[in-house]
Structure 1
Amino acid sequence: MKQEDRLLVRLKEYGESDFYPFHMPGHKRNSLLGKEYGTPFSIDITEINEFDNLHNPGGILRKSMEWASKVYGSDKTYYLVNGSSCGLLSAIFAATACGGKILMSRNCHKAAYNGVFLNHLQVKYVYPQVIDELGIQGGILASDVEKLLDEEPDIQAVVIVSPTYDGIVSDIEGIAEAVHKRKIPLIVDEAHGAHFAFGEDFPKSALELGADIVVQSIHKTLPCFTQTAILHMKRGYIKEEELERYLRVFQSSSPSYIFMAGIENCIYHMNLEGRQEMKNFAQFLEGMRERLSSLSKLKLAGRELIGEYGVEDIDLSKFVVVTKDTSINGSELSRILRDHYHLEMEMCSANYIVAITSVADTREGLDRLVNALLEIDRELCGREENPEKESNMEWSMKVTSKPEVEMTIFEGVTSPKEFIPIENSVGKIAGEFVFIYPPGIPIVAPGEMLLPSLVHTILAYQEMGLPVQGMRDTSGKTIQVIKKG
């Protein structure tokens, strides 16, 4: 291997460049925040005397997690070193029996789908509202959850994503009320809302609104290491011993002490100076949005959505910039920001991009984003519309993402399969996931019928240059389908 090809060398070079991160992790590579850790090797240990064991805590780690629980107001808080994914998997297994039934919002992360697969679950979906004029998904209606629970009385648990990748917050209080009428638990994937608890100007955490388990990726929106997360539990509808058993299954048996110290240090900082920093941050965000209110072609999703489309609240630290009425798509806007302004976005979709901001952002970095978007918008004002692009977008917007489920995800994954070209797969049953990553929400899951609209969407996304993943064929030309006979 050449010296210049080494990952460590490339990371150092990137860290010294002027590329600015509008993506996770929430520490935003801010060197001032990392000084407290010193030399990583000097604090990287294992379960030695006086340093406890995450999987059987009785000392310093137990005290640390009990303290964190008081900060957040949970009955119990657990540190996670395998990301929110291990928390979601553990929660799903603790709340359902093997082969049982679960109600899940269709826009759940692939980790939740993996839980459905591994526990052989039957899954029923509740769908978010669609904000047609922006081309993004809205919230989940409590009435839709209640209706499905009435129709399927054997559902054992409900999993909802709030906030979404786009910062959309659902009516968790109403959903929790509907779920608890059935004496079953509500699990909320709050991966993108770890910062809510520390800012009065931000939405309330699901933990305050009745959720039984809340999983947060502390690394996504707060200053902490990638892969760190926390799980909060409220007693009543979850078996504590089952949850802890599965946390031992889905987490590493050698948890990183650097990660665990990072989680504690992040919460400690946010609980002290962080609350005022969040207030200052919120005020700066308001100023950014005020400046961006002059956008003519590009659109910025904001508070105007609250009260519509199932949107209970919105996280204003997520900048969702919509390209629907312009001559470019989300992928092209992301590329322009990267190539011409050295600004790296969190994700892009057909009609929009998402820029993640956090309390660790610099004012200079935030100003760079505003100035770049205003300049791009001025350039777009002089361009003519692309009729073909509009046609493609309108088609993709009509996709309801309500597939026909022919078999369980487990059956779809384990049945005999064959590879066929994607364009020839209409009417076949998918044998693998297809999703754009990020955010990792399936377009189609194993066991679902490949409808014409879904196949068209996959091909259109590939043509746009979006990161279509999940298929074993990494070239993206073929897809695994269930073999007949």
Structure 2
Amino acid sequence: MALLLHSLFLPPLHLAPPYRRIRRNSQSSGVFEPNPSLQPFSTKSSPKSSRTTNAPGLQRCSFNLIVSCSKEEADHNEQEGLRSNGKCPIKQAIHSLDSENSQFQPIEEDKSTAPFVSALKARAERNAAGFTFPGHNRGMAAPPLLEQLIGKGPFLHDLAEIDNFISPEGAIVDAQKKAAELLFGATETWFLVGGTTCGVEASIMSTCSPEDTLILPRNSHISAISGMVLSGALPKYMIPEYNTSWGIADGIKLHQVVKAIDELHEEGKEPAAVLITSPTYHGICSDLEKIIELCHKQHIPVIIDEAHGAHFKFDCRLPSTALEQGADLVIQSTHKVLCSLSQSSMLHLSGSIVDRERISRCIQTLQSTSPSYLLLASLDATRAQLSKNPYTILDTSIHLAHQLADEVQTLIPNSSVLESADFEGMPKKDPLRVTISTWKVGVTGYDAYKILREEYDIIPELRSQKSLTFVVSLGTWREHIQRVVNGIKDMTAVHGLDNSAQAMINHYECSPFGEITLKLSPREAFFANKRRINVEESLGEICGELICTFPPGIPVLIPGEVITQNALSYFLNARDGGAVICGATDCHLHSIVVCDI
């Protein structure tokens, strides 16, 4: 199943050898043993349950997880906020289904092939005379350079005559239904070929009308701003708390949502929806269960941008999913830690608070009428891959992530790894996001990124002034972990700076959202007349463009906001440090576009 999509392509793509399953030593060994009285996906009831879920579909961890390890590892896992039915996952625990107490019955294992992949494969094997799009006609006129790069296989399956993406009735419906009901536990799932960006925009449009108010974190992804431009919604921002030592934002707390709702009530307004990004790019999770409970008591729909948490369903040591915690709309980037092709995502609907027809219309408005069937097939194939081995598929990845974190801290003097304990309340954190300090060894994150990429051929996912973030996924091998450890160790020895340079990094201000004044709504600012001025003259002007550092794509200046010295200093320091500036007409940020009002 894992190679369903790969099997479509002829000739075969070159895949690296599979990674070896890591064997732990006698003091730290892990064995998965089937529960003889309860097989995965069993429809038989279990005598006792330690966890129920409010979402249908795949029930997590219906096996006996028997793991022994050192006390230090146990403390590490508990500190990181990992949980297994309320227990530390490295202690012996029985994960079972409770068909008597759960709202939803356990399901049978999905042993069928991926319906859309099967339909695509069958259609490609027919010797049809095609007079349809695309013009390469199943590779007959494939651009030679691209064919040399990827082979003819993708062209053979780049078709456009299977089902109707806008109003599907066949294989697409079947594939989406399997994802919703048999895997993620949603009422309905839509495949997205415009990424999670498209899903966030559609979710805002489906819950907010012009002049409605959307409560959201100020460090939301740029797609949330685009969604407000499209819908005409007005933002009510929540400012996340920052760990200034790391320069990294915390998740959203319950009290911040309560404050935002109360302030709107004082103005005589009701929020149309609440949007939360959880987990963040660094893997920090918000207190979703309490936030969602609060919002639902007031009939407020909750949208969760879970772009970085599509994998949470598949191991009890990972934080609970947004769907499990009762979210109404959840958007996931299936291509990040999971294995679909880039640009492919899923949007999940749960419950009945959000109008199903409206969200469907919004998705139709934003998606292409000519989708890539390869992207759709990759989503279906990934669903099948996960269904084959849902409870243990991430076991090796989690082990490798802990190994990376432990070896960096053990072998590299003065280094540290971001943990839940670095934030107030110790929020849940994704262990597959390993953020490593660089400032403590006297190297900026931007310099470290450049050094590792150019000199060691190591590519971190995210860099900032003070740290690097590495994502461990299903495709990570033990060799990759060792290369990172050795690379950082060598880099520190060669490029580490003196104490004065280290102090400069330590005092760098990384929180650009301390003061926000909104003069125009995002939509008003988007359509307002503009003019370009020198960046030195922009202080106090109304920003006319959306500007962010990328990654992670979090806007520091948003159209309609007053330009502050704090934001300018952040950008200029980031630019001079080597960050990529996105969204600005002048990517070097010598000038800036402002609203001419």
Alignment gaps of 5+ in structure 1: 1-29
Whether the aligned pair in 1 keeps the contact of 2:328 and 2:349 (CA below 8 Å) is yes
The answer to whether residue 475 in structure 2 is matched with residue 364 in structure 1 is no
Code of the aligned partner of 1:138: D
Distance 1:450 1:261 in 2: 44
Whether the aligned pair in 2 keeps the contact of 1:170 and 1:311 (CA below 8 Å) is no
Query: In terms of Rg, which structure is larger?
Result: 2
Residue 200 of structure 2 is matched in structure 1 by 88
Partner residue of 1:263 out of 376, 379, 394: 379
Code of the aligned partner of 1:97: S
Residue 62 of structure 1 is matched in structure 2 by 173
Residue 441 of structure 1 is matched in structure 2 by 554
Post-superposition offset of 1:297? 5.5
Code of the aligned partner of 1:173: E
What TM-score comes out, normalization by structure 1 length?
0.87
Whether the aligned pair in 2 keeps the contact of 1:194 and 1:216 (CA below 8 Å) is yes
The DSSP-based 3-state class of the residue aligned with 1:353 is strand
Post-superposition offset of 1:456? 1.4
Change (3 A) 1:47 1:399: closer
Post-superposition offset of 1:188? 0.4
Whether the aligned pair in 2 keeps the contact of 1:141 and 1:310 (CA below 8 Å) is no
Residue 20 of structure 1 is matched in structure 2 by none
Post-superposition offset of 1:181? 1.9
Code of the aligned partner of 2:383: I
Whether the aligned pair in 1 keeps the contact of 2:180 and 2:189 (CA below 8 Å) is yes
CA RMSD of aligned residues (A): 2.2
C-alpha deviations, 1:253-272, integer Å up to 9, x for none? 01221111110101111121
Distance 2:379 2:546 in 1: 32
Code of the aligned partner of 2:328: D
The answer to whether residue 189 in structure 2 is matched with residue 77 in structure 1 is yes
- Pairs within 5 Å for 1:203-352: 203-273=319-389, 275-294=391-410, 299-305=415-421, 308-309=423-424, 311-352=426-467
* Higher RCO structure, 1 or 2 (CA under 8 Å, sep 6+): 1
Identity level (%): 28
What TM-score comes out, normalization by structure 2 length?
0.72
Partner residue of 2:215 out of 103, 108, 129: 103
In terms of fraction of residues, the more helix-rich structure is 1
Distance 2:164 2:511 in 1: 51
Distance 2:363 2:407 in 1: 45
Residue 452 of structure 1 is matched in structure 2 by 565
Question: Aligned pairs, how many?
Answer: 450
Residue 355 of structure 1 is matched in structure 2 by 470
Whether the aligned pair in 1 keeps the contact of 2:436 and 2:468 (CA below 8 Å) is yes
Code of the aligned partner of 1:467: V
Residue 471 of structure 1 is matched in structure 2 by 584
Post-superposition offset of 1:366? 2.2
Whether the aligned pair in 1 keeps the contact of 2:575 and 2:588 (CA below 8 Å) is no
Change (3 A) 1:257 1:316: same
C-alpha deviations, 1:350-389, integer Å up to 9, x for none? 2222222201112212221122123334446674431673
- Pairs within 5 Å for 1:165-204: 165-204=281-320
Distance 1:417 1:309 in 2: 42
C-alpha deviations, 1:30-87, integer Å up to 9, x for none? 9998355446345535453xx3222212222111111111211111111111111111
Post-superposition offset of 1:131? 1.3
Distance 2:523 2:207 in 1: 18
Code of the aligned partner of 2:491: I
Distance 2:561 2:502 in 1: 32
Whether the aligned pair in 1 keeps the contact of 2:329 and 2:350 (CA below 8 Å) is yes
Post-superposition offset of 1:483? 2.4
Moved more, 445-454 or 197-206: 197-206
Code of the aligned partner of 2:486: N
Whether the aligned pair in 2 keeps the contact of 1:298 and 1:377 (CA below 8 Å) is no
Whether the aligned pair in 1 keeps the contact of 2:541 and 2:563 (CA below 8 Å) is yes
The answer to whether residue 537 in structure 2 is matched with residue 421 in structure 1 is no
Alignment gaps of 5+ in structure 2: 12-152
Change (3 A) 1:257 1:33: closer
Change (3 A) 1:382 1:434: closer
